[in-house]
């Protein structure tokens, strides 16, 4: 038993989990498009996806408030369509995590897809196999080590997101208090024990994730990537 | 019958090919970078010519001004250089990859026996030798019952004994299947041993065609005199 309310842990796992699922789907679709298609403005789209990597979190937070705030175009749209607000909710935290972790996952997936020898896909095509089945049974499994690394990176980035989350979701204990926010506000309040507790928890999560990826890679390196 | 008559601009020259063939074995011979693999890729649909026509048994694969036929619809068996076996699938999964569930697999069983790979089915590509990979790749290329077989340097990675055995097997398969076979090689000996006809290619141009009676040249037609 711990002396602290564990809701920041569960909220962080929920926010990072949902954000990572969305990042996983979107980055795979984007990376697939970028690898396979040539189109006008491709480099601009690429730069736009990677932009959050070089922007300060406060700028991302500001942009999200402008877009999803009560007077923002997407904020109004979501409230009218589905009746929910993004600002000062855990959904805002998930959107902030999504935006900051998307470029990391996208880069990993893009590199993973580019590493898959196009001859393997062409073999499937000459055998009359559909593009979707080739993707599902050849491209995706062979790119999986890189995709998995991207998932872990994205999850770690999402669970550690602070600046943009604070701006759009604010600090409402029990509602938007993720682990990074709990650490910051515990420190601000002089509750060093509580801050250290959450630092240990979030560090342990990171170490466990990296350890698991390394184990998985060693286990599967024997088969995948060799011919 | 395969009809090929097209041009395609490459980096340093224009690939220009014009020939037709029946259910025979044609060897494309020429130095590296002369456009041989690009010809196979154009027939398979992996890349498209700039102009001309490619048709097999009345089905137009490519014709200037028309939408090319999708790769999946061309029914080509393609053995890539270095074989390109799927590293994450077993030999059996590699061979059956293009077959539909519930389809008749008797020809694959016969092929596996003929090629001597029945004992390898549970293994993965990294667990088998170069000669075995070649035979697995050949079985995979034939598994979906193609209308034409394209082989890109099929014997280049094999030692002399394995090469002779694989050539013999390919010969047997061709006698049973009776489909057009085009194989790319840079070795004249391979071409003369296996092919009914040799087409020499250099810098994208067909320079010489020769009809063969297995083991010897019957007659040649010089298409471009400066071929070395």
Assess if residue A180 is contained within a domain: yes
pTM over 0.80: yes
Cβ count within 10 A of residue A8 = 25
CB contact (8 A) between residue A123 and residue B80: yes
Q: Which two tokens stand for residue B42?
A: 């154009």
CB contact (8 A) between residue B126 and residue A138: no
Contacts of A130 in chain B (CB under 8 A): 72
Give percent of chain A above pLDDT 90: 77
Q: How far is B112 from B96, CA to CA, in rounded Å?
A: 11
Assess if residue A154 is contained within a domain: yes
What Rg, from alpha-carbon coordinates, does chain A have? 20
At B225 the three-state DSSP class reads coil
How high is the pLDDT of residue B225?
A: 40
Cβ count within 10 A of residue A89 = 18
How high is the pLDDT of residue B226?
A: 42
Summarize the confidence of residues A67-90 as an average pLDDT.
Answer: 91
How high is the pLDDT of residue B176?
A: 83
Residues of chain B with pLDDT under 50: 215, 224-228
Q: Which residue of A has its CA nearest to B137?
A: A123
B71/A contact by beta carbon, under 8 A: yes
Contacts of A126 in chain B (CB under 8 A): 44-46, 71, 74, 76-78, 141, 146
B72/A contact by beta carbon, under 8 A: yes
Q: CATH homologous superfamily for B1-74+148-155+177-228? A: P-loop containing nucleotide triphosphate hydrolases (3.40.50.300)
Summarize the confidence of residues A86-107 as an average pLDDT.
Answer: 94
CB contact (8 A) between residue B126 and residue A227: yes
Q: Which of A144, A147, A163 is nearest to A155 (CA)?
A: A147
Q: How far is B156 from B149, CA to CA, in rounded Å?
A: 17
Contacts of B144 in chain A (CB under 8 A): 127-128
Contacts of A122 in chain B (CB under 8 A): 44, 46, 71, 78, 80, 84
Q: What is the residue range of A146's domain?
A: 7-221
B101/A contact by beta carbon, under 8 A: no
How high is the pLDDT of residue B228?
A: 35
B143/A contact by beta carbon, under 8 A: yes
Assess if residue A1 is contained within a domain: no
How high is the pLDDT of residue B82?
A: 85
Q: What is the DSSP letter of A37?
A: -
Residue B99 CA: distances (Å) to CA of B78, B92, B102, B218: 15, 11, 9, 40
Q: Scanning the structure block, which residue is given the tokens 């001597």?
A: B116
Q: Which of A180, A183, A184 is nearest to A160 (CA)?
A: A180
Domain ranges of chain B: 1-74+148-155+177-228, 76-145
Alpha-helical runs (H) found in chain A:
7-36, 42-54, 57-68, 73-82, 90-115, 118-126, 131-134, 140-159, 163-169, 179-188, 192-221
Binned at pLDDT 50, 70 and 90, residue A83 comes out as: confident
Assess if residue A226 is contained within a domain: no
Q: Do B202 and B12 touch, CB atoms closer than 8 A?
A: no
> CB pairs below 8 Å between A and B: how many?
70
How high is the pLDDT of residue A223?
A: 53
- Kindly report the nearest CA distance between residue A132 and chain B, in angstroms: 12
Q: Which of B23, B40, B26 is nearest to B179 (CA)?
A: B23
Q: What is the mean pLDDT of chain A?
A: 91
Q: Which two tokens stand for residue A175?
A: 């509602």
pLDDT digits (tens, 9 = 90+) for A119-148: 999 999 999 999 999 999 999 999 998 999
Better pLDDT: B220 or A38:
A38
CB contact (8 A) between residue A128 and residue B126: no
Assess if residue A138 is contained within a domain: yes
For B190, the enclosing helix (H) or strand (E) is: helix B188-194
Q: Which two tokens stand for residue B15?
A: 């690939």
Give percent of chain B above pLDDT 70: 92
B73/A contact by beta carbon, under 8 A: yes
Assess if residue A145 is contained within a domain: yes
For B114, the enclosing helix (H) or strand (E) is: helix B106-115
Q: What is the mean pLDDT of chain B?
A: 86
CB contact (8 A) between residue A126 and residue B143: no
Contacts of B129 in chain A (CB under 8 A): none
B84/A contact by beta carbon, under 8 A: yes
How high is the pLDDT of residue B89?
A: 94
CATH number of the domain that residue A16 is part of: 1.10.3720.10
How high is the pLDDT of residue B140?
A: 92
Q: Which residue of B has its CA nearest to A221?
A: B88
What Rg, from alpha-carbon coordinates, does chain B have? 17
The separation between CA B20 and the C-alpha centre of its own chain, rounded to angstroms, equals 15
Nearest by CB to B72, from A125, A142, A225: name it.
A125
Nearest by CB to A224, from B44, B77, B88: name it.
B88
Contacts of A124 in chain B (CB under 8 A): 97-98
- Quote ipTM for the complex: 0.86
Contacts of B44 in chain A (CB under 8 A): 122, 126
Q: How far is A143 from B88, CA to CA, in rounded Å?
A: 11
How high is the pLDDT of residue A183?
A: 95
Summarize the confidence of residues A163-180 as an average pLDDT.
Answer: 92
């Amino acid at each position: 038993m711990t002396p602290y309310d564990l809701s920041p842990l569960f909220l962080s796992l929920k926010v990072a989990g949902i954000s990572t699922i969305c990042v996983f789907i979107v980055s795979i679709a984007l990376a697939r498009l970028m690898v396979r298609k040539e189109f006008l403005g491709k480099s601009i789209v690429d730069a736009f996806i990677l932009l959050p990597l070089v922007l300060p979190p406060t700028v991302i937070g500001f942009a999200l408030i402008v877009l999803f705030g009560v007077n923002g175009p997407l904020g109004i749209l979501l409230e009218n369509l589905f009746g929910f607000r993004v600002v000062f909710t855990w959904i805002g935290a998930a959107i902030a995590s999504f935006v900051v972790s998307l470029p990391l996952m996208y880069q990993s997936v893009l590199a993973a897809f580019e590493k898959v020898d196009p001859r393997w896909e062409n073999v499937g095509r000459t055998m009359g196999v559909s593009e979707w089945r080739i993707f599902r049974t050849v491209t995706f499994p062979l790119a999986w080590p890189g995709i998995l690394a991207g998932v872990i990176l994205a999850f770690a980035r999402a669970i550690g997101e602070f600046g943009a989350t604070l701006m759009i979701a604010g600090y409402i204990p029990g509602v938007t208090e993720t682990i990074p926010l709990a650490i910051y506000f515990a420190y601000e309040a002089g509750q060093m024990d509580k801050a250290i507790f959450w630092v240990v928890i979030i560090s342990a999560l990171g170490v466990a994730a990296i350890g698991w990826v390394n184990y998985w890679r060693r286990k599967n390196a024997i088969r995948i990537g060799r011919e | 019958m395969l009809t090929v008559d097209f041009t395609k601009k490459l980096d340093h020259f224009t690939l220009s090919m014009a020939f037709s063939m029946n259910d025979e074995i044609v060897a494309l011979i020429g130095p590296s970078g002369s456009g041989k693999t690009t010809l196979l890729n154009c027939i398979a649909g992996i890349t498209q010519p700039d102009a001309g026509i490619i048709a097999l048994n009345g089905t137009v694969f490519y014709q200037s001004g028309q939408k090319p036929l999708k790769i999946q619809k061309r029914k080509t068996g393609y053995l890539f250089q270095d074989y390109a076996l799927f590293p994450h699938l077993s030999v059996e999964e590699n061979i059956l990859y293009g077959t539909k569930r519930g389809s008749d697999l008797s020809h694959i069983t016969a092929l596996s026996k003929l090629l001597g790979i029945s004992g390898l089915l549970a293994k993965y590509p990294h667990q088998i030798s170069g000669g075995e990979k070649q035979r697995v790749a050949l079985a995979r290329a034939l598994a979906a019952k193609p209308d034409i077989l394209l082989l890109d340097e099929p014997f280049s990675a094999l030692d002399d004994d394995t090469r002779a055995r694989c050539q013999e097997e390919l010969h047997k398969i061709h006698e049973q299947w009776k489909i057009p076979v085009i194989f790319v090689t840079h070795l004249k000996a391979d071409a003369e041993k296996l092919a009914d006809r040799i087409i020499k290619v250099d810098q994208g141009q067909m320079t010489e065609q020769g009809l063969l009676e297995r083991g010897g040249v019957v007659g040649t037609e010089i298409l471009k005199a400066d071929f070395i």
